Amino acid sequence: MLELPDLSQITRELLQQIPRGKVTTYQALAIALGDKIAARVIPQLIAPYESDPNSLCYKVIQSDGMIPARTEVERTEKAHRLKAEGISIQNGQIMPLSKFLFRSFQCDAPLIKLQKTQFETREQLSLRPGRSSYRTAGGIDLSYAGSQGVAAYVSIELLSLQLVRADVDVQEVKFPYIPSYLAFRELPVMLALMKKLKDSAKLADITLVDGNGTLHHRHAGIACQLGVMLDVATIGITKSLLYGHPEKELASLTPGEVCYIEADGEKLGAAIQSKPKVEPFFISPGHKINLETAIEVARACLSEGRLPEPIQLAHNTSQEAAQSLKSRLSSSDKTTSQAKLKPTRSVQKELFDKA
């Protein structure tokens, strides 16, 4: 349902375009991929190739011309290879950088394509409630066991806040973390789990997602994408503010108080102070719901914790399931993408069903 680019392989291919006697920067590579915000992830993308003697990773430098390295030995080795190509280096810095900088990459900018996907999601959003009432509310969150993403989905009765069921799914996560592209890292695992539940009529009436909805740079966070792709009602819940400006000072909020978050000339979400002496959480519509109804549902889900109960239970479940998977993987030489996962203590064992 969702095809993602192999950014590491694409970056390796970009390195092959750098001519002899030239270098590039993390930022130049990020721009070639489609967004300069990805500069911070370039070291992670090229890391698998750094030990390859034929790799051109040594040609990637910092924007100020400094040669990046974990040790002085590594820096000296890189400098030696660069000097062999006629590149001038003074005190570990390429001088003048403008003379040796290469940034004329040929690339189809995969991050721009992902932005387009987000814009398309925004166009398909419905910010009107799909129903007049909700009997159950679900929560979905993701934790990690190495490269494995462990998604947990819990469903509760809204009236009693009692648990109905909990489900877990595991997949390898390959897409790196890039700010404002989090959905593409976590969406595949969450999407697979929620699709299974929807196909078996086990999805809650509305789902609270650990991630943003419209409170996002492109008004289309992971909660929006999940909602649109599955055609279900979703709400985005986060512990920190990614985008927008509060109407008032958040530190002044009192328990139960709501503060709207504005951006681009409209109210995209809200901060809710759930209890004394804790930070507020942030809420925004995902799909098939408006902001006011999303606030009502989130407040109806509040219990003793800072976050709405479905999100807190999903977090607890995914965390403990991931820890269980880590223990199993470390005690066995066999790597698997699926594991029998122990339920969190906050979830009744008899209600735990592995997806």
| Annotated catalytic residue within 57, 224, 259, 301 | 57
Q: Using only the alpha carbons of the chain, give its radius of gyration.
A: 23
Q: Which amino acid is at 136?
A: T
Answer yes or no: 107 catalytic.
Answer: no
Helices 222-230, 110-124: axis angle to 10 degrees equals 60
* CA atoms of 205 and 137, how far apart (whole Å): 6
On the CB side of 190, CA atoms within 13 Å amount to 31
Contacts 24+ apart (CB under 8 A), 40-47: 40/178, 41/7, 41/176, 41/177, 41/178, 42/11, 43/68, 44/176, 45/7, 45/8, 45/11, 45/176, 46/8, 46/11, 46/12, 46/15
Please name the residue that has the structure tokens 């900018």. 109
Q: At 270, list the tokens.
A: 């809200």
On the CB side of 227, CA atoms within 13 Å amount to 40
Active-site residue list: 57
